[in-house]
Structure 1
């Protein structure tokens, strides 16, 4: 007697049970992320964890993705993360591509020349630069593996120990990099220095960049947290503010670091900006108007950079100031001065004719 059919059926059952178990686990982390996103909006660290886990999964149920609207959610994150750029935006793009392929059953290389379907899909996802029907799962996974390799190399390079100081020239270069010199200065130094000095400079520059990233992100979260104590924002409004504040603080920190050339002074200045802005938007009428303009899309993050520290306060009209302006006008234009006239019992200037004379 042969038991091979029973063995094969048993193996199939084990395979299917493992498959269902993996699918159920996939469902849980997707469901948790979708719920957290709807409650708290976009959070970069949580999305990176979700995106990396999502891209590493082989089996995901398309109906579950449709139910939680993952293609639309990942598309929105992809669009909003354009201002952040880098790894987050690339990962969001890959998550969107993969979820789209799963939902529309574009599992491998499937070509479709139906223009009506292409137009319909592009109307649902406007602004995408890639052709949906040229997408394939194999290509997306290769993109993800390349992205992971680059990310690992960057992390290894960032965590590398600082080389020993060799001479006074390299010390000067290190101090110049730590003080926040521009990329143009770095290029000039690299052309003149040896390989060891280039490594030192690049490492110092990476330290500054990593500090900038962590600092502006913490200030953005703090600003949003303070504003949420005073206002009940919708999920869309939270995302809008997060995107605008991200652009604003990212460029503000870099700008102040270049101006002040000192991390402690930069922290102090940016903290002052964030503190003033939070109080201004929460308590002042003109601040609430500014917040409204940001939510309506009238003011972007780069436009917000034009505001100075003194602009984040209520402008009060002073009676004394008005009096000074008024008196200066009277001195320049004496015809405006009027006096009580005893003849006609009215007020008129010295140069006007008296009513009694008329």
Structure 2
């Protein structure tokens, strides 16, 4: 048996160790930082889109509903009627008389009341009265009849009691705009934004007050005092998102900042409404610019081009997106025809008005 020597030569241990160099560590660190920054931006973009999506949807729904409401109110405006001859025995509006009894002179009490003084009538006449930030419309709203409602023949009428509404289907719609202001706890004035009120036509302001006031508000109405707190009820629609409102009326061949159907004896041919909404709180400055570009490059139906009324709201002072709505009034076209048979729009505005004759 062969013995193995005790002192065999051993292999020397390696003194070098394998590892990353400094450049490799720096390169991995830089790549990891770039990857983390990309993921952070991706998640940030997703969060902004997730938060701004509902806000933009609500804004679009608000504009759509507001445009539809304005269109329904304006197109439902009743054309102002000519004051009849005092010798005619036709019952007309504008008086509290409930019968057409003849006076000793042979004319009706209603005609005598209207012919005596059109300015002193306590009730508003038919038509549209408005300024650049307020609008009053006497409109026809036929109430819906339910099959379960009793018919008129089944109702028992007590003629001794005064009627609450002479014509319930006639309504006076008031649009008023109040700019943003600093409110104190004791301030019970009209809230900032756009406010719509739906009143009975005989309880609204009189013709003389409408025509004389440069701007009317809900504090001027007889049923709301300036010292009382305003309560938003079912007859009111408050839109606090509106930060700017400008209204123009087209009649007599030109755009006007005010309209009075009592003086013009007709409705305007078209009404231009420029709305400006507050930016959502969750949108940053970059998305605000994108929203402004989108709203100007993709106008909705019946929305004017940016050139129309560009000096109406200064774009340098107002960077918020604006919506321009144009509503044609069929009842006002009769008094606005030109000699050639057209609508009579001036050359400067005819190119921006879409659709031509409605």
The structure with the largest strand share of the pair is 2
TM-score by length of 1: 0.21
TM-score by length of 2: 0.21
The structure with the largest helix share of the pair is 1
Structure showing greater radius of gyration is: 2
